């Protein structure tokens, strides 16, 4: 974490570290428990693996608790507790780009677009999705003219058709409601 990241960003990172660690611990514990009902040969590998992972995660939690209890020495910049605890966190990594800097609005817009894209995809298939989403997205988000959108989508669909249908005779994703 670089020093110019605002403090809220740093806090989000610290919370995320706890959430991710606990979530993976949850997954690994579930995996361990699920394996108990299998025959020994089938269960051995998953149990050894998830057991090991649980050990590692607990070790990480211990480091995190220790780092939270012991304030970092004043000379270092505000490094995330966990990285330091691991003994070798990368201090001079660049900030993780748009993910850290984008505001809530941008996130909302991008995620909404993705939800629309994949909902339309599962309902109506890729052909309808590309036409509707492609033209709509280019118009609303890309601020391009309708004609531009139609040409863009037309070229894209043509290329997809040539490659998938004509050359490889591969099926295209179909939707539940409409092929």
Partner 1 sequence: MLEAAISGLVQIMSPGAFGLMMIGIIIGMVVGILPGLGGPVALALMLPFTFGMTPIETFCFLLSTLVVTTTAGGITSILFGIPGEATAAAIVLDGHPMAKAGEAGRAIGAMLMASLMGALIGAVLIVLAIPIIRPVVLAFGPPEFLMLALVGLTFIAILSDGSMLKGLIMASAGILISLVGLDPQTSVPRYTFGMLEMWDGIGIVPIVIGLFGGPQILELMLSKKSISTRKAAGSTSGILKGFADAFIHWKTVVQAGLIGAGVGVVPGVGGSVAQFIAYGHAKQSSREPEKFGKGSIEGLLAASGNNNAKDGGSLIPMISFGLPGSVSTTIVLTAFLIVGIDPGPAMLTEHLDVTFSMIWVTIIANVIVLLITIPIIAPLSRLTMVSGPLLAPFLLALVVLGSYANSNSLFDVWVMLVAAAVGVICQRFRWPVVPLLLGLVLGDICERYFFLSQALFGWDWVTRPIVMGFGALMALIFFRAGLQSWKTFKNKRAVQ
Partner 2 sequence: MFQYNDAAGSGKFQSSACAAAILSAVAILPGAVSAQTDCSFFSGQTVELVVPFNPGGGFDAYGRLVAKYMGPILGADSMIVRNQPGAGGMLATNQTWAADPDGLMLQVMSTSGMLTAELGGAAGVGFESAEFSWIGRVSGEPDVVAVGFGSDIASPEAIQAISAERPVRIGSSGVGDIDYIEAQILTKVFDLDSNIVVGFSGAPEVYSSLARGELDLFTSSYSGARQAAAAESASILWLFDDNADPDFPDLTPIGEYLEGDNLALVKAHADLVAGGRAIAGPPGIPEDRLTCLRDAFDATVVDEAFLAESAEINRPVAPISGADLQETIVSLTGNVPQDYADLLIESYSN
Among partner 1, partner 2, none, the one that 128 touches (CB under a kind-dependent 5 to 8 A) is none
Long-range CB contacts (within 8 A, 24+) of 130-137:
130/156, 130/157, 130/160, 131/157, 137/113
Q: Is 53 in the site for partner 1 (CB under 8 A)?
A: yes
CB of 75 to partner 2, least distance (A): 55
Distances (CA, A) of 93 to 12, 63, 80, 156, 178: 17, 21, 12, 37, 47
Contact partners, residue 14, CB within 8 Å, separation at least 6: 80, 81, 82
Q: Which residues bind partner 2 (CB under 8 A)?
A: 39, 42, 169, 171
- Binding partner at 114 among partner 1, partner 2, none, C-beta below 5 to 8 Å by kind: partner 1
Q: x/- string (CB under 8 A) for partner 1, residues 84-123?
A: --xxxxxx-xx-xxxxx-x---xx-xx--xx--xx--xx-
Residues 6+ apart with CB under 8 A from 74: none
Nearer to partner 2, 47 or 135 (CB): 47
Answer yes or no whether residue 33 interacts with partner 1 by CB under 8 A: no
Select from 11, 33, 45, 154 the one that contacts partner 1 (CB under 8 A): 45
């Amino acid at each position: 974490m670089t020093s110019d990241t605002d403090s809220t960003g740093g806090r989000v990172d610290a919370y995320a570290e706890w959430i991710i660690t606990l979530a993976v611990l949850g997954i690994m514990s579930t995996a361990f428990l699920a394996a108990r009902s299998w025959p020994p040969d089938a269960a051995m590998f998953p149990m050894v693996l998830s057991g090991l992972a649980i050990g590692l995660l607990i070790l990480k939690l211990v480091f995190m608790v220790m780092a939270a209890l012991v304030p970092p020495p004043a000379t270092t910049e505000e490094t995330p507790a966990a990285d330091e605890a691991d003994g070798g966190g990368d201090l001079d990594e660049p900030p993780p780009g748009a993910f850290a800097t984008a505001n809530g609005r941008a996130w909302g817009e991008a995620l909404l677009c993705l939800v629309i894209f994949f909902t339309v995809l599962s309902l109506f298939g890729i052909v309808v999705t590309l036409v509707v989403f492609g033209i709509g997205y280019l118009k609303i988000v890309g601020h391009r003219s309708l004609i531009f959108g139609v040409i863009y989508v037309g070229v894209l669909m043509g290329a997809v058709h040539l490659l998938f249908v004509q050359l490889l005779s591969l099926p295209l994703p179909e939707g539940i409601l409409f092929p």
